[in-house]
Structure 1
Amino acid sequence: MPLLDELRARLGEGAVLSGTALAGRSAGFWHPEPLRAAALVRPASTDEVALALALCHAAGQPVVPIGGLTNLVGSAACGEGEIALSLERMNRVEAVDVAGRALTVEAGLTLQRAQEVAAAHGLLLALDFGARGSCTIGGVIATNAGGNNVLRWGMARAQVLGLEVVLADGRVLGALTPYRKANAGYDLKQCFIGSEGTLGVVTRAVLALQERPAGGATALLACERFTDVTALLRLVDRALAGTLSAFELMWGDFYALNAAAGGGAAPLPAEHGYYVLVEACGESIAADEARLQAALEAAFEAGHVSDAVLAKSGPERERLWAIREATEPEQHAYRATQTFDVSLALDAMEAYVGRVRAGLARAAPAAVLHVFGHLGDGNLHLLVGHPEAVAQATTAAVEALVYEPLVACGGCISAEHGIGLEKKRWLPRSRSADELALMRGLKRTFDPAGILNPGKVFDPDPQG
């Protein structure tokens, strides 16, 4: 391919991998097969990203930006005729502004490394989720990732102060402002946050940091009824005086499987309807534990909680979080799995899950439904486990069972994982025709040739 020869000549031999050099490259955490791409391009600077995209734009060559490849909806899926663009060589920390509480990094840096840098300066990068060690800042921003701390600090969008983005034709938009207030016309960076690499490639970012809480208290609670769970959320939010940072819900069957997989005795007996992981982060461990203990006592008195355990050490906290974050037990328990993340009103959740469960009993009687999620954010994750391999018709039927009921209750088909390839046919359930038309208009404006991550989020514009 002449384009690959030119890319090698301009970027260097090691910047362009193809053929046997791609043999050891995985398509992602959830996809063990080899990466399928015409080549993997690995620029080492913003200028090199701009050069690579300019050349691909001129040649009409499709480009798929990839990060840590932990995405669940195929946002970084790459075809044999496409070029994968990785910023793995752009992983530097450029500046830590302690006084201004801001961190400037290249987009190939992992989230965990960014967290560690912030912590070394007594600050907190509030973004956090299970893939922290693999996902990259660019991927986090491109998917507007959520995670464990959204209840208190918001999604990725809330953590981004400034961005540098390279457009499809190689132009560079440099808006690396470190200010929390910058109200000068359209906030263009918002177009790229959550765009899944379809509008531009994020190369550098300025991230907002928080003062690192000195305290921390974590508890696992058992409830019998869903109404107890929602009442508990209000109670602990009031009692913890602004320090509530996580309120994670697990249905009983999900908890039973994951608690047993950890080895040793479960923190609480697996005999209750619901389990809630509550975490407070405030000014001191003693104060946080005292407030949380008082909240638990009030919850017991009100009849909302049946049992509870308060973590007394770092390892105990990690054990509780491992139950909530683990995915391996479900992967090992079933031959095939389907994962979903949806958002909807709290008062609609119990009926919604009941409807999905009843539908599965009819359409896929052997399937098992596990439900968990960030209840404080209105976000549920559903995992459907199949004991045997399933036909495509069955997986499609399961998707319909999960997504169709959301229309009636005003829910969203994707709370935090994005659309990618897996959910794009369901996008009209959450977006109107006018909204989709505006999205396609943005795509034409930023990427008129349609080379960036083609086919993701929605199909190519028929007006193309």
Structure 2
Amino acid sequence: MTAREAVSALRETLGAEVVALPEEFGDRRVVDWSGLPGATPSAIVRPRNTEEAAKALALCTKYKQAVVTQGGLTGLVGGANVLTDEVVLSLDRMNRILEIDEVSATMTVEAGTPLQVVQEAASAAGFYFPLDLGARGSCSIGGNLATNAGGNRVIKYGMMRDQVLGVEAVLASGKVIGDLNKMIKNNSGYDLRHLLIGSEGTLAIITRVVLRLRPKPTATATAWCGLPDFRAVTTLLTRAQAGLAAGVSAFEVMWAGYHDAVIGNLRNLRAPLADAHPFYVLLESVGTDPVRHGDAFEEFLGAMLEDGVVTDAAIASSEAHARDFWSIRDAPGEYQRFIPNHAAYDVSFSIAQVGDAAQKCEARLRERWPQALVLTYGHLGDGNIHIVVDVPGMGKHDHDEIDSVIYDVTREFAGSISAEHGIGVKKRHFLPQSRRETDLEAMRAIKAALDPDGILNPGKVI
């Protein structure tokens, strides 16, 4: 059977309104943000509901037609890119908020709903949806689930899997599994929800979900801190988690190399502190007591300054001031302006090992490329750091040697090659450096059981 036969059957069954042919794509983007190459899909299927998605997959299984699921296309590892003559199943039409249950504190949505739409709907209903990413306006809830997205507030609220109570999905066969339950406690056998979250569209296609909402914070305190060494950084984290009654909602650490590079190259950014420091931390705490929250935060920082844990600090005096702090941490979105050919890595370690692992990565990089620009920063509270490397004269995709340096160190520290962006195509060959062979055998067995013909996102993850 050929792709042409499969596309013809899809078009005949679902209609031209749902199934578009290549000449009908127009200027529609069909690759993610990874910069990796992608082929043109044989067709784009845009179901309007779960039933149409199920019919599409049943037909694709019948014709042995490979399928790639696409959401907001904001991924960074090529997981949503077409490799050969695959069909794309896009969930962009399944973008409705179906229900907000104020008593259960849940929101039921279709998987194509943009993250920012969910955040705004939760806020309008008096709640808070804590997952937050720089791509919030474009990324979809389904994509967030497929990659188990993290973001800036994992330290307080957890990863994407911690924001979900119920999941509905369609298997390659077209059968619908899961349910839209709203229970926090549910131990009725294997939890298919957690099996599918993080599977990058290789096991099933998530269509609808029940999201967990949180109380809306009514007080936010944000500070920019300069610290003398990495030990002080981990001390600040430990003491903030123990000493701030409302806890820590964000703890973003930046090495001096990152801070100096973005401040020096992006004119819209200003250094919050007058003097230079080896490390900087953006510390945020959210709570529900507007009267007491700010005072307690200032008292805590005062104690940290007095004890020498923090060398200097600036507390945001307004939301706009806090946004100025965050704009420094969010500067990676502007890398194309001054390091367009950079290599970026998203790795994680135990918190106690982050400092040593980052130091070893930078030392080995400089042994090989003394003139390299190395930028290190990340979400220390969950052990996730980002390492960005720019070697003068190196092409945009000539990063194999850099990959080996970073992932060799990651293996030595028993870390993860992917903290929050997934595996996709880009990291598939390095997966054995983070997982045992027996783990990979178990993954292959699960894949074979749920997708025996291997039509779902082939060539990705495993």
Give the alignment's TM-score, normalised by structure 1. Answer: 0.95
Name which of 9, 15, 38 aligns with 1:12: 15
Secondary structure at 1:173 match in 2? strand
Whether the 8 Å contact between 2:166 and 2:209 is mirrored in structure 1 is yes
Identity %: 41
Name which of 79, 83, 87 aligns with 1:79: 83
Alignment-derived partner of residue 35 in structure 2: 31
Whether the 8 Å contact between 1:25 and 1:34 is mirrored in structure 2 is no
The root-mean-square deviation of aligned C-alpha atoms, in Å, is: 1.7
Name which of 111, 115, 134 aligns with 2:115: 111
Secondary structure at 1:350 match in 2? helix
Query: Greater shift after overlay, 167-176 or 6-15?
Result: 6-15
Instruction: Please give the alpha-carbon distance, in whole angstroms, between the structure 1 residues aligned to 2:242 and 2:15.
Output: 58
Instruction: Please give the alpha-carbon distance, in whole angstroms, between the structure 1 residues aligned to 2:84 and 2:455.
Output: 14
**Structure 2 counterpart of 1:166, one-letter code:** V
Q: Deviation at 1:210?
A: 0.6
Alignment-derived partner of residue 378 in structure 2: 373
- Quick check: 1:436 aligned with 2:424? no
Instruction: Please give the alpha-carbon distance, in whole angstroms, between the structure 1 residues aligned to 2:269 and 2:194.
Output: 46
Query: Greater shift after overlay, 46-55 or 230-239?
Result: 230-239
- Quick check: 1:334 aligned with 2:347? no
Listed as ranges, the matches of 1:13-412 within 5 Å are 13-26=16-29, 27-31=31-35, 36-260=40-264, 261=266, 263=268, 265-269=270-274, 271-390=276-395, 395-412=399-416
Instruction: Please give the alpha-carbon distance, in whole angstroms, between the structure 2 residues aligned to 1:256 and 1:273.
Output: 10
Whether the 8 Å contact between 1:66 and 1:76 is mirrored in structure 2 is yes
Instruction: Please give the alpha-carbon distance, in whole angstroms, between the structure 2 residues aligned to 1:287 and 1:177.
Output: 37
Distance 1:197 1:275, change over 3 A: same
In structure 1, the gaps of 5 or more residues are 459-464
Distance 1:77 1:334, change over 3 A: same
Distance 1:316 1:33, change over 3 A: farther
**Structure 2 counterpart of 1:196, one-letter code:** E
Secondary structure at 1:165 match in 2? strand
Query: Greater shift after overlay, 333-342 or 155-164?
Result: 333-342
Distance 1:18 1:55, change over 3 A: same
Secondary structure at 1:305 match in 2? coil
Instruction: Please give the alpha-carbon distance, in whole angstroms, between the structure 2 residues aligned to 1:250 and 1:89.
Output: 39
Instruction: Please give the alpha-carbon distance, in whole angstroms, between the structure 2 residues aligned to 1:367 and 1:24.
Output: 37
**Structure 2 counterpart of 1:289, one-letter code:** G
Distance 1:425 1:230, change over 3 A: same
Query: Greater shift after overlay, 251-260 or 334-343?
Result: 251-260
Secondary structure at 2:342 match in 1? strand
Whether the 8 Å contact between 1:335 and 1:387 is mirrored in structure 2 is no
Instruction: Please give the alpha-carbon distance, in whole angstroms, between the structure 2 residues aligned to 1:151 and 1:12.
Output: 46
Whether the 8 Å contact between 1:335 and 1:386 is mirrored in structure 2 is no
For these two proteins, the number of residue pairs brought into alignment is: 457
Distance 1:224 1:185, change over 3 A: same
Secondary structure at 2:168 match in 1? strand
Alignment-derived partner of residue 461 in structure 1: none
Query: Greater shift after overlay, 355-364 or 125-134?
Result: 355-364
Q: Deviations over 1:337-394 (max 9, x none)?
A: 11111111223222222221122123233321101100011111111123334386x5
Q: Deviation at 1:90?
A: 0.4
Q: Deviations over 1:114-157 (max 9, x none)?
A: 01111001101111111111100000001111111110110011
Secondary structure at 1:437 match in 2? helix
Give the alignment's TM-score, normalised by structure 2. Answer: 0.95
Secondary structure at 2:343 match in 1? strand
Whether the 8 Å contact between 1:224 and 1:274 is mirrored in structure 2 is yes
Instruction: Please give the alpha-carbon distance, in whole angstroms, between the structure 2 residues aligned to 1:340 and 1:18.
Output: 36
- The 4+ residue runs of structure 1 with deviation greater than 4 A are 32-35
Q: Deviation at 1:33?
A: 7.1
Instruction: Please give the alpha-carbon distance, in whole angstroms, between the structure 1 residues aligned to 2:387 and 2:214.
Output: 31
Q: Deviations over 1:307-358 (max 9, x none)?
A: 1111111111111111112223322212411111111122322222222112
Whether the 8 Å contact between 1:336 and 1:389 is mirrored in structure 2 is yes
Alignment-derived partner of residue 462 in structure 1: none
Q: Deviation at 1:270?
A: 6.4
**Structure 2 counterpart of 1:303, one-letter code:** G
Instruction: Please give the alpha-carbon distance, in whole angstroms, between the structure 1 residues aligned to 2:65 and 2:270.
Output: 55
Q: Deviation at 1:79?
A: 2.3
Whether the 8 Å contact between 1:255 and 1:270 is mirrored in structure 2 is no
Q: Deviation at 1:16?
A: 1.8
Instruction: Please give the alpha-carbon distance, in whole angstroms, between the structure 1 residues aligned to 2:354 and 2:170.
Output: 40
Secondary structure at 1:320 match in 2? helix
In structure 2, the gaps of 5 or more residues are none
Secondary structure at 1:244 match in 2? coil
Whether the 8 Å contact between 2:34 and 2:78 is mirrored in structure 1 is no
**Structure 1 counterpart of 2:325, one-letter code:** L
Whether the 8 Å contact between 2:32 and 2:76 is mirrored in structure 1 is no
Instruction: Please give the alpha-carbon distance, in whole angstroms, between the structure 1 residues aligned to 2:165 and 2:309.
Output: 40
Instruction: Please give the alpha-carbon distance, in whole angstroms, between the structure 1 residues aligned to 2:232 and 2:432.
Output: 34
**Structure 1 counterpart of 2:430, one-letter code:** W
Instruction: Please give the alpha-carbon distance, in whole angstroms, between the structure 2 residues aligned to 1:73 and 1:314.
Output: 33
Q: Deviation at 1:262?
A: 5.0
Q: Deviations over 1:5-26 (max 9, x none)?
A: 2222222212222223234122
Distance 1:270 1:340, change over 3 A: farther
